[in-house]
Structure 1
Amino acid sequence: MSAQQPPADTPAATEQAPATVAVLAGGLSHERDVSLRSGRRVAGVLRDAGLEVQVLDVDSELLPRLAKLQPDVVWPLVHGSTGEDGSLQNVLDLVHAPYVGSEAAACRLASSKPVAKALLRQAGLSTPDHAALPQSVFREVGARGVLDAVERDLGLPLVVKPAAGGSALGVTVVHAADQLPEAMVSCFAYGDVALLEKAVHGVEVAVSVIDVEGGPRALPAVEIVTEGPYDYDARYNAGRSEYFVPARLNEAQTATVHDLAVAVHRTLGLRHLSRTDMILDDEGTAWFLDVNVAPGMTETSLFPQAAIADERDLSDIYLAIVEAATRT
């Protein structure tokens, strides 16, 4: 005798409810606007793919909202210090919320540019010579003497940037010694530690990595061409920069930049997704500049451009990332 079929209105017969995703955006960093734009874009893709999505601002009501919503997965898209330095990830760990992206310890390593560069250089990867100097050292030792030493050791041109943070905020390319003091003032407006890095010339490339099944894999490289520095305005205002996806590289060059991005992802212990920014010089060396554990997802951001150019479509990649987060 055949098994009795359950009534049509029983849970066994109803369709499984779509996964609920809480996208965290906003916050109080200098990159709040970019974060909100990223959150809206990701939420739109996930909703179109059939998921239930709510975008939550990161404020004093976040934890009560999460407790009420009980999402299957949280996707943090808060850029800047709190969202990328492991702090927000630690909070999510405390409330046992599964989340997209790297764990807190890996975020701390990646978000500090000097720490990440030191670890990657120790692993044999190429990154420009640099010095990391807190604002206090200039008061204690004397700004002029320190800047003279920087110029003698690293040479010019060099890049001055905050040791943490993103979106090129506080970044200046210095071509002459008299530009250094102003560059330092601009940098310290966004953080207490400055990274002074020897400038490397070549093709500017961003390589995103997805780590959802079978280990990390590079998405098509994005080549960035812009007049002047690739600063905040050039990144987020359409028309300032031109992008080539995939990058205009030969097979060997493509393998080089893909290998560096995957090696960065593995060395720093990242998970689910990351984006590595680099310069490929004329000799074929790929120089690590920065890694992003919560890469921008706006209409001009590099990760979605790479995902759109991949063999899988954008929504498939985002769904795979959400699925991977449910398993970790």
Structure 2
Amino acid sequence: MSLQDPKLFGKVAVLFGGSSAEREISLMSGTGVLDALRSRGVDAHAFDPSQRELSELKREGFARCFVALHGRHGEDGTVQGALELLGIPYTGSGVMASSVAMDKVMTKRIWQADGLPTPKYVRLAFDQQSREQIMAVPDVLGLPVIVKPPREGSSIGVTKVQGYSQMQDAVALSAKYDADVLCEEFIEGEEVTCAVLGHGLDARALPVVRIAAPEGAYDYQNKYFTDDVKYQCPSGLPEAEEREIQRITLAAYRTLGCRGWGRADVMIRASDRKPFLLEMNTSPGMTSHSLVPMSARAAGIAYEELCLRVLASATLDATGGSL
């Protein structure tokens, strides 16, 4: 697909908004993408699946969709499955990769099976959340421990637990967003993120972004609504560390079957500089604070060009490649 002639994309729907807990972020991402595509002459239109039936995409003659939805019913394979049935190519990973990557427990199981480094964890299913079971978690993982819903993003429902007395409240908060609760070993060190563009052997990792949040609080508020977080891209990491993070990110992306684009969150353990994979985002943020556009800029890819490249990669599971 040529990026030079925007008419070749046909009529494009930018899917954003949605009904997940990340709706507010999706609205910001989608607005940015919509403006960028229109600025390059693409016939792009806003489409909020929480306000309109997806079947309208077919009736209104949309040729492809840019998925700027985050969280459930947007990033978890459900919208992707609907678009497969409608036969409308879409950006990002397919049904299975989207579904698996949205579930942090399933993602960790696959990474562990492939020998990729990810923090130790305990899954508390909905029927395994008695006081005794909750209080036993720090005995297994140590303290501090991270408690979070396994199928949410953007740091929603996440608690860093410093002591046993906080465990009960942390699990209760997480359980508001997901019946299951993921408790994860806390990796003391630096947080980085690494984006990927492409599919299969053609996928390539972009420059690593280093994240420095105030008092280590890279939470929902600091991610999207303050300028207190400092980002470094180029990361300033030793070249060997940068290469290793890019290597495991590419391996993590490929083993999940991701395509189009994605972004892995990684912790570098301070004690030995070993990187650990936290999660894979298959519909990364595209706001003014977002990390994929920042990484792309460092690679010489402007925001508008990034949006065009992602749009050009739109495909269906049935075809398995860009259209």
TM-score, normalisation: structure 2: 0.92
Q: Is the 8 A contact 1:87 1:104 kept in 2?
A: yes
Residue 104 of structure 1 is matched in structure 2 by 95
Residue 213 of structure 2 is matched in structure 1 by 226
Residue 258 of structure 2 is matched in structure 1 by 270
Equivalent of residue 176 in structure 1, options 160, 163, 186: 163
Q: In the alignment, does 2:297 pair up with 1:311?
A: no
Equivalent of residue 114 in structure 1, options 90, 105, 108: 105
Residue 245 of structure 2 is matched in structure 1 by 257
Three-state SS of the structure 2 residue aligned to 1:205 is strand
Per-residue deviation at 1:227? 1.3
TM-score, normalisation: structure 1: 0.90
Aligned amino acid, residue 256 of structure 1: E
In 2: Cα distance, 1:298 partner to 1:245 partner: 17
In 2: Cα distance, 1:174 partner to 1:213 partner: 38
Aligned amino acid, residue 312 of structure 2: E
Larger Rg computed on CA atoms: 1
Equivalent of residue 285 in structure 1, options 271, 274, 293: 274
Q: In the alignment, does 2:151 pair up with 1:192?
A: no
In 2: Cα distance, 1:204 partner to 1:268 partner: 22
Equivalent of residue 147 in structure 1, options 134, 138, 151: 134
Residue 151 of structure 2 is matched in structure 1 by 164
Root-mean-square deviation (Å): 1.7
In 2: Cα distance, 1:254 partner to 1:90 partner: 35
The total of aligned residue pairs comes to 310
Per-residue deviation at 1:17? 3.4
Higher relative contact order (CA 8 A, sep 6+): 2
Q: Is the 8 A contact 1:212 1:321 kept in 2?
A: no
Q: Is the 8 A contact 1:158 1:175 kept in 2?
A: yes
In 2: Cα distance, 1:16 partner to 1:61 partner: 26
Deviations 1:203-258, CA, capped at 9 Å, x for gaps: 10010100069611111111111113211001001313111112120100110111
Q: Is the 8 A contact 1:56 1:62 kept in 2?
A: no
Per-residue deviation at 1:148? 2.7
Per-residue deviation at 1:22? 0.7
Per-residue deviation at 1:322? 1.5
* Percent identity for Structure 1 against Structure 2: 34
Aligned amino acid, residue 273 of structure 1: W
Deviations 1:117-162, CA, capped at 9 Å, x for gaps: 0100111110111011123222xxxx22112321211111110010
Q: Is the 8 A contact 1:221 1:247 kept in 2?
A: yes
In 1: Cα distance, 2:277 partner to 2:110 partner: 12
Aligned amino acid, residue 270 of structure 1: C
Residues 64/253 of structure 1: CA separation in 2 closer, same or farther (3 Å cut): same
Residue 198 of structure 2 is matched in structure 1 by 211
Q: In the alignment, does 2:94 pair up with 1:94?
A: no
Aligned amino acid, residue 233 of structure 1: Q
Residue 83 of structure 1 is matched in structure 2 by 74
Aligned amino acid, residue 107 of structure 1: S
Three-state SS of the structure 2 residue aligned to 1:82 is coil
Residue 322 of structure 1 is matched in structure 2 by 311
Residue 298 of structure 1 is matched in structure 2 by 287
Q: Is the 8 A contact 1:110 1:291 kept in 2?
A: yes
In 1: Cα distance, 2:57 partner to 2:219 partner: 35
Aligned amino acid, residue 84 of structure 1: E
Unaligned stretches of 5+ in structure 1?
1-14
Q: Is the 8 A contact 2:135 2:167 kept in 1?
A: no
Deviations 1:11-31, CA, capped at 9 Å, x for gaps: xxxx98352221101111111
In 2: Cα distance, 1:187 partner to 1:320 partner: 36
In 2: Cα distance, 1:213 partner to 1:287 partner: 22
Per-residue deviation at 1:108? 1.2
Q: Is the 8 A contact 2:14 2:44 kept in 1?
A: yes
Q: Is the 8 A contact 1:18 1:52 kept in 2?
A: no
Deviations 1:160-184, CA, capped at 9 Å, x for gaps: 0101110100000011110111111
Q: Is the 8 A contact 1:45 1:315 kept in 2?
A: yes
Runs of 4+ in 1 over 3 A off after TM superposition: 15-18
Aligned amino acid, residue 14 of structure 2: V
